[in-house]
Amino acid sequence: MMTASTFTRHREIAWRGGQTRSTSRLIAEEIAIALTYNGSAHAIMMGTPSDLEDFGIGFSLTEAIVERMSEISSIELVPNELGVEVRMWLEGDRAASLAARRRAISGPVGCGLCGIESLEQACRAPSQVAGRSTAFHARDLLGAMQALSPLQVLNQQTRSVHAAAFWHPRIGIGPVREDVGRHNALDKLAGAMALEGRSAEDGVVLLTSRVSVEMVQKAAMIGAPVLVAMSAPTALAIRTAEEAGITLLAIARDDGYGVFTHTRRVLLPEDAAPRADA
């Protein structure tokens, strides 16, 4: 039976500063996670064996397999010697719709694009984020990113996993989800918010990873108006965020970040240089 632990301890020979010593390190686990719908395999992802119900629900939402969590009639986690199967059963209409557009996704990196039969599916038009008048203070967004690191429990132990989190100016950060795959972490966050009945429309999604196009697509699917990431975006991610109506902030460091799209939602300090809105 595959262990459900999120990490294990491994011995290592450490060579640092010209010195060699025998020690050990906590290492993040990575297993095969099969997502099945109504008895048929749909995707096989490599990921961290935690919050897998969140993962199944979030993946279903961000990949447009369902529009609402209620369209998943049941979900079951079935471990076996190879990994874990996340078994989901859909309501009749959704099951028929999925069968009509059945596609296989299988890949070692959990990118969400492997095996897609049509390029149109990879480059699909993003969902439109509802227009909101809410704007966030630049320093508050920076503070949110700085506050995320201590909340990454698994990463504090292993230094090898990504996190996706939701921040609200009145509530703070939460939930936080982690995974060796950045896409998986975002899917887990989407599922956790759906289970809590929380909307992403009045807050901010925080990422500890780079921003590729599918991260923007997934954020758009859950209606997040602002996306803040630690690393840089791709050009396609920027164009997609622009099209979706998402304010994209990236390369977040201790001293600030870059605002790439829809700057109206970010209230920069008064001493900031004048700028044109996107």
- Average pLDDT on 106-130 reads 60
Q: What is the mean pLDDT of residues 229-236?
A: 96
Q: What is the model's pLDDT at position 103?
A: 46
Confidence of residue 46 (pLDDT cuts 50, 70, 90): very high
DSSP states along 55-108: HHHHHHHHTTS-SSGGGEEEEEEEEETTEEEEEEEE-HHHHHHHHHT---EE-T
Instruction: Tell me the mean pLDDT in the region 63-75.
Output: 95
Radius of gyration for the alpha carbons in the chain, expressed in angstroms and rounded: 19
User: Between 41 and 205, where is the model more confident?
Assistant: 205
What average pLDDT score do residues 58-69 get? 95
What tokens appear for 245 in the block?
A: 């109506």
- What pLDDT is stored for residue 93 in this prediction? 84
100 phi and psi, to 5 degrees? -70, -30
What is the percent of the chain with per-residue pLDDT over 90, rounded to a whole number?
A: 77
- Provide CB contacts within 8 A for 232, sequence distance 6+: 210, 211, 250, 251
Inform me whether the pLDDT recorded for 230 exceeds 80: yes
**In this predicted structure, what is the pLDDT of residue 115?**
44
Say yes or no to pLDDT of 132 above 70.
no
Q: Which domains does the chain have, with CATH numbers?
A: 31-122 (3.10.20.10), 136-267 (3.40.140.10)
Band (160; pLDDT cuts 50, 70, 90): very high
Identify whether the C-beta of residue 28 lies closer than 8 Å to the C-beta of residue 6: yes
Q: Which pLDDT value is given to residue 91?
A: 86
107 band by pLDDT with thresholds 50, 70 and 90: very low
Average pLDDT, the chain: 88
This prediction's pTM: 0.88
pLDDT over 60 (residue 11):
yes
pLDDT at 26 over 80: yes
Residue 104: per-residue pLDDT: 43
Run of H or E residues at 168:
strand 162-168
Report the pLDDT value the prediction gives residue 236, as an integer from 0 to 100. 95
Residue 27 pLDDT greater than 70, yes or no:
yes
Amino acid at the residue 32? A
Tell me the two tokens of residue 278.
């996107």
Percent of the chain with pLDDT over 70: 86
pLDDT at 1 over 60: no
pLDDT above 50 (res 52): yes
Look up 123 and say whether it is catalytic: no
pLDDT at 4 over 70: no
Query: In angstroms, rounded to a whole number, what is the distance separating the alpha carbons of residues 248 and 210?
Result: 12
Inter-residue contact 7 to 24 (CB < 8 Å): no
> Does residue 206 register a pLDDT over 80?
yes
pLDDT of residue 195: 97
Selected catalytic residue, list 27, 69, 75, 111 = 111
Average pLDDT over residues 143-161: 95
Average pLDDT score over residue span 153-179: 95
Q: Residue 106 pairs with which residues in a beta bridge?
A: 44
